[in-house]
Amino acid sequence: MAGASPPTPPPPPGGRRRLRDDGLRTATSGEQTKVEDIVQEIFNACKTNHHASQFVLHREKHFHYLKRGLRQLTEAYECLDASRPWLCYWILHSLELLDEPIPQSVASDVCQFLSHCQSPQGGFGGGPGQHPHLAPTYAAVNALCIIGTEEAFGVIDRKKLLEYLHSLKQPDGSFLMHAGGEVDVRSAYCATSVASLTNILTPALFAGTAEWIARCQNWEGGIGGVPGMEAHGGYTFCGMAALVILKKEYLLNLRSLLRWVTSRQMCFEGGFQGRCNKLVDGCYSFWQAGLLPLLHRALHARGDTALSMERWMFDQLALQEYILLCCQCPAGGLLDKPGKSRDFYHTCYCLSGLAIAQHFGSGDLHHEVVLGGPENRLQATHPVYNIAPEKVARAVMHFLQQPVPSLEPAAATN
């Protein structure tokens, strides 16, 4: 019929809301629309099939992908030669989330390899013989805590680690990532994380650190890499987690932070973006969603009576749906978004975010929300350290039995 309006498209599944660009198409709105088109195809196919089995975590395929990676990597990973402790951590943590045991021989081999990555100056480098750096130091300590044996704990030279952290400490409370390197919120988190796990956290080491992190919260509500920078999911998690360790979350505007992070869950895809006006990315399933348990705890400590005692403050089912439908590689491993390649980084953080979305609270307040069959259930992860809660407890109890190393006056004042 002449002049008739085009047929109204069917509503998106679950009442999800697609981007409305108000008729003004930009480069970023065009990219967002492309992603939504691909995701809508996947959602529509799932809805047409009417099979609950669409929501399946392909555990066996992921396990084989991870198991191979722990022993042998292709030439494509040559670019990550300076990130080898990270590869150990990403794979070991993914396996523990899948509740797959690490063979003792493999665990021992990892311990020996990481011992070769430890620098005589303290801390760990990205590979044997490489200069120490706080990022692989964090990854190595987490990997060793996941293994959790006497051999693993014995690898860490706590006195040298404490000296190394002091050598990176800056007068304003921040930390360098490595000698002569950059300063940002990642370094504060890496330092607080390894120090708290290994019982070398001292008031002198972290004097001024919490206040410096608080200055990184900007007008958006999230946290940037340094004061004055744009809020970013990775930096925001690092800053908030470091403040939780230091017991100074109250220095942040928590409600502004809550508003920012909950706004990062995409209305249509269900996953999270890292920054305002960016595309969804599976890795932010942890970096952003992992903030919500930390915020929940901080607001509960303030006596906020509006908090649920059964759910986090984001759409847990929508996030699980995005990960299960859009982030799994058919051959095993997980990825950023449809069309991207799998890798161990995204496998680790997609699974970590899935675990956060499945588990609320702990102890008597523990509630589970698992999309799909019970076989999709992952083990819980600690929202501060992103390793299993029982592994955190084991490491903390082990190192609490050892005194904090004493330092020479020169090292303590660096």
**What is the distance between the alpha carbons of residues 359 and 284, in angstroms, rounded to a whole number?**
17
Contacts of 349 (CB under 8 A, 6+ apart): 282, 283, 284, 285, 286, 287
Q: Hey, what are 401's tokens? A: 């039995």
Query: What are φ and ψ of residue 118, in 5° steps?
Result: -75, 135
The residues that are catalytic are: 232, 275, 278, 281, 283-284, 336, 343, 346
**Token couple for 33:** 């629309």
Give the DSSP H or E segment for 348.
Answer: helix 344-358
Rounded Cα–Cα distance for residues 129 and 51 (Å): 52
- Phi and psi, residue 223, nearest 5°: -120, 135
Q: Which two tokens stand for residue 167?
A: 């050598």
Nearest CA among 5, 7, 80, 16 for reference residue 42: 16
What is the 3 state secondary structure string of 27-64?
HHHHHHHHHHHHHHHHHHHHHHHCCHHHCCCCHHHHHH
Sign of the four-CA dihedral 108, 113, 116, 122: negative
